[in-house]
Chain A
Amino acid sequence: MTVQKNIRNFSIVAHIDHGKSTLADRLISFTGGLSDREMSEQVLDNMDIEKERGITIKAQTVRLEYKAKDGEDYVLNLMDTPGHVDFAYEVSRSLSACEGSILVVDASQGVEAQTLANVYQAIEHDHEIVPVLNKIDLPAAEPDRVRAQIEEVIGIDASEAIECSAKSGIGIQEVLEAICDKLPAPTEGDPSKPLKAMLVDAWYDQYMGVVVLFRVIEGTVKKGMRIRTMNTGANYTVDKVGYFLPKPTDTDSIGPGEVGFLTASIKEVADAAVGDTITEDKRPTETALDGFKPAQPVVFCGIFPVDAADFEDLRAAMGRLRLNDASFSYEMETSAALGFGFRCGFLGLLHLEIIQERLEREFDLDLITTAPSVVYTLDMRNGESQQLHNPADMPDVMQIEHIKEPWIKATIMTPDDYLGGILKLCQDRRGVQTGLSYVGSRAMVEYELPLNEVVFDFYDRLKSVSKGYASFDYQSIGLKEGDLVKMSILVNGDPVDALSMLVHRNNAESRGRQMCERLKDLIPRHMFKIPVQAAIGGRIIARETIAAMRKDVTAKCYGGDASRKRKLLDKQKKGKKRMRQFGKVEIPQEAFIAALKMDDS
């Protein structure tokens, strides 16, 4: 077992693209974990989607073995944490398994919204912070300015910040030295005491089944040991114990202060809840670790197969994904508009997009996704309280006392030039400004916003009003009462359930008008006029009419056009499946999402 004082458990915190993954890869190759040939780009981001988007979805860990200049052999456990607010809880668990963090800041960009959010989280977990100025190879790098910025904005000493280029390999050894030198060893734990370990993460591996990543506080995890997860109360026998070097490597036992993985014939990832306490079944520790929280979806949407015949395949695919992702939930739903499908819950929008993409890509399914909605809490007149996941299910307003919706606190950093546009955007989205300060020429704005207004296209809009320069981060701040009403959309006189939504009363009319205008462009002309209306209760608040189609004919059709026309028909036969029939009207599936995008103009 490793000498506890030579163990360092650390994570890397950074704004997206500041070089976290590149630095991690460098650390691995420097310490010899993998040969150059094995270093496929960015080892830690495993999934295709992670590589493509440059984000980390699952927490990962690597054990680095490093002989420092002081002559001692160190074991450095790098915990790579998910880099997105959707996974805030997972991040907090990973951080609590470490004693320190490397703060990576792109020396040409400086501090960004995620830098702040992430470093504050690390500080909240009492981490020692080692600042690293990355990308100093770039001509635009301004290490001195960024050093000053870190001190000013974050309030930590950056005088010894390491200048590094993860890409060209400058300063890597200095980073390793600083980890050994500046970060604390884990608190001494007694290897013979009853086992107390935190379940940091779990995922499904094709070969190993469910793999559990854990951090031992005290006691020892041993092969063959009967363990118990204290919150879920389940028992397992440990089949395998090991480290990631980064390749999984077996060992016999793992003691206090260390990080490792185990497998124990656990059936589903859902059985291994992040944050749970692992102990020995017959000799349990007295108290579980605190901070455990069951996964709680915050955003919901409907997912339907384009082709109704794919329903069972979709169900199977969801089951498979759920095996590996306990925070994703699904439940069967029927929609008059879209037929049979599922109401699905996610940790956030990114999580939603990832799942949707994986369903389409890995399982080759064509899907219709309805607009995301947050979870509303309805306080009923009879004193009960209900959760509303789907606006279409809204009960009679007469029975509702009031409606509460989740709010967030958003931190946005932006060059001054775009501040006006951003303030207007937040204002339009019912935001309440709570702070505005400057970090050099960058403004830092804080807003409280209803999640409902952020969940859909806020981020896209923010990128567009700031030409991509603004950065954004948020955290949940709980429920607030709101004057919300259900708006229905009627196409040719019939309500389309998949398009109904909750809106603030004051915005209802303008949202209704926008929706109708959008749909007018999205629904192709038919042989007859189609009224498109927005309504609250029985009252029509906006209306547009799609004119009847008068002309639809190919002008030229000669010898060479017969095949082309026929192929077009074949394509349309397929396209037909992507349309949904509402009474006599056909609505293309893209319309369900596109109708909701707002211009804010």
Chain B
Amino acid sequence: MDDTPDEPLAVYIHWPYCVRICPYCDFNVYKQKTDAGLTPSILSDLQGWRDWSGPREVSSIHFGGGTPSLMSAEDISKTISQVKTLWGLSEVCEIAIEANPHDADEGKWRAYREAGINRLSLGVQSFHDPALKLLGRDHDAAQARKALKLAVDIFPSVSLDIIFGWAGQSETLLNADLDIALSSGAQHISTYQLTIEDGTAFAKAEARGDIKAVDSDKSADFYEGVRERLMAEGFEHYEVSNFAKLGHRSKHNLAYWKGRDYVGVGPGAHGRLTVEGTRYATVAEMRPQDYQGKVSVSGLGLAEKEALSQTAWAEEYLLMGLRIEEGISLKRFEEIAGVASRKKIMQELIQNGLLRRDCDKLKATSEGRLLLDYVIENLLIW
């Protein structure tokens, strides 16, 4: 099997704090403003990962959360320097951070840019005040527009998130959101259908009969509407929920979808590392205190480190890979799995117009992407 030591490495940094917790959120987040000394632990954890991975080149660094924009520019800078010192950055390394309109701050953002951040992903969600209220966001539409403008001014690459499918949304309202997004100059748009995750406040509300999301037929209509609209405006639909102008795809996220290795530091961060033909799946300690403690005693912040079976590895490769336009390599899939792929069911899905074969590549059609969970279940469960 071809080991991938020379393949680029992605680095994910999880900043687990938020000013307040949104009702649909199911991330590992804690309500707090100050960092309580997390950065030094992250820096040591990175060292621990470097010892484990050996020399590699880093192609992307992603500050996610939580609300990583609560991090000081100084901490960001230290973190980037640490990665650079430990591994070295590729020439076109993407260094991205997620931010919320609410905490847009020109001075801080310019300092981020200074520190090396070259991409900002803004959690706009909507430009419609009632929707923002329903989603429990702490910003309004005016703040969202202002923040977006600032981001486009400062960063060479800007992405924004739009949530669609909230209860009460109409085609007109959806298009109004898209209009503003498209005219903002942002080069990347992620459009997420609102999903009700178990255990969230929204799940409880829905259980009480307080409906927060549109039904699945409506959601399908919206999805198709979004896709048509954005493609007509020159965006490529390169992943289920992601659209980009040429050259602005998220390198970091592509690392996940292509089954590449990624370092995961910070509380609750997930990582994948392939060492001597074994792919490990890691999860860092969830709670910040536990994480800090773990790093200080073991050099790494890991709570779990699982050597993936060939099957599990192959399953991940497939379920992540079919999300992107370029699909998966069947040869690679079979290499990982150690068994032949299931031709019969694949053929059936191709006949139903959900999958497409392109030499060695297996791809989901646009119809297939809309039914991707179904497609994956069919391919992997029998």
Contacts and interface: CB of A to CB of B under 8 A. Distances in A.
Interface of A: 525, 527, 547, 549-560, 562-563, 565-566, 569, 572-573, 576
A569 B376 CA distance: 9
Given A562-B270, A569-B315, A555 B372 contact: no
Given A559-B269, A569-B380, 10 more contacts: A525-B216, A552-B372, A553-B240, A553-B369, A553-B372, A560-B268, A562-B316, A565-B316, A566-B319, A576-B381
Interface string B341-382: 000000000001000000000000000011111101100110
Given A527-B371, A553-B240, A563 B216 contact: no
Interface of B: 12, 192-195, 216-217, 219-220, 223, 240-241, 253, 256-257, 262, 264, 268-272, 281, 283, 312, 315-316, 319-320, 323, 352, 369-374, 376-377, 380-381
A584 to B, nearest CB: 11
A565 B319 contact: yes
Contacts of A549: 216, 371, 374
Given A551-B216, A551-B219, A557 B323 contact: yes
A572 B12 CA distance: 29
Contact of B373 (A547, A553, A560, A576): A553
A218 B34 CA distance: 89
A222 B272 CA distance: 77
Contacts of A560: 264, 268-270
A460 B247 CA distance: 63
A555 B312 CA distance: 21
B256 A558 contact: yes
B370 A551 contact: yes
Contacts of B253: 558
A214 to B, nearest CB: 55
Nearest to B239: A557
Nearest to A547: B217
Nearest to B352: A527
A527 B374 contact: yes
Nearest to A557: B323
Which of A554, A559, A560 has the most C-beta atoms of chain B within 10 angstroms of its own C-beta? A559
Contacts of B272: 559, 562
A550 B319 contact: no
A527 B315 CA distance: 22
A382 B91 CA distance: 93
Given A555-B193, A555-B195, A573-B381, A562 B256 contact: yes
A559 B316 contact: no
A554 B322 CA distance: 12
A562 B253 CA distance: 12
Contacts of A573: 381
Nearest to B263: A559
Contacts of B352: 527
Contacts of A555: 192-195, 240-241
Contacts of A527: 352, 371, 374
A566 B373 contact: no
A562 B241 CA distance: 16
A333 to B, nearest CB: 28
Contact of A559 (B240, B262, B376, B377): B262
Contact of B223 (A551, A557, A558): A551
Contacts of A562: 256, 270, 272, 281, 316, 319-320
Nearest to A573: B381
B165 to A, nearest CB: 9
B344 to A, nearest CB: 15
Contacts of A556: 192, 195, 241
Contact of B315 (A552, A559, A566): A566
B6 to A, nearest CB: 21
A569 B241 CA distance: 21
Contact of B320 (A557, A569, A576): A557
19 contacts: A525-B216, A547-B217, A549-B371, A550-B220, A551-B193, A551-B220, A552-B216, A553-B240, A553-B372, A554-B240, A554-B373, A555-B192, A556-B192, A556-B195, A559-B12, A559-B262, A560-B264, A562-B270, A572-B381
B135 to A, nearest CB: 14
A551 B381 contact: no
Contacts of B264: 559-560
B216 A550 contact: yes
A569 B220 contact: no
Nearest to B319: A565
Contacts of B194: 555
Nearest to B161: A556
A551 B219 CA distance: 8
A543 to B, nearest CB: 20
B371 A553 contact: yes
A553 B370 contact: yes
B156 to A, nearest CB: 22
Closest 3 A/B residue pairs (Cβ): A551-B220, A550-B220, A560-B270
B98 to A, nearest CB: 11
Nearest to A569: B380
A294 B320 CA distance: 64
Contacts of A525: 216
A569 B381 CA distance: 7
Contact of A566 (B12, B312, B374): B312
Contacts of B195: 554-556
Contacts of A563: 270, 281, 283, 316
A553 B195 CA distance: 10
Contacts of A569: 315, 319, 376-377, 380-381
A237 to B, nearest CB: 58
B50 to A, nearest CB: 18
A547 B218 CA distance: 13
A554 B352 CA distance: 20
A556 B240 CA distance: 8
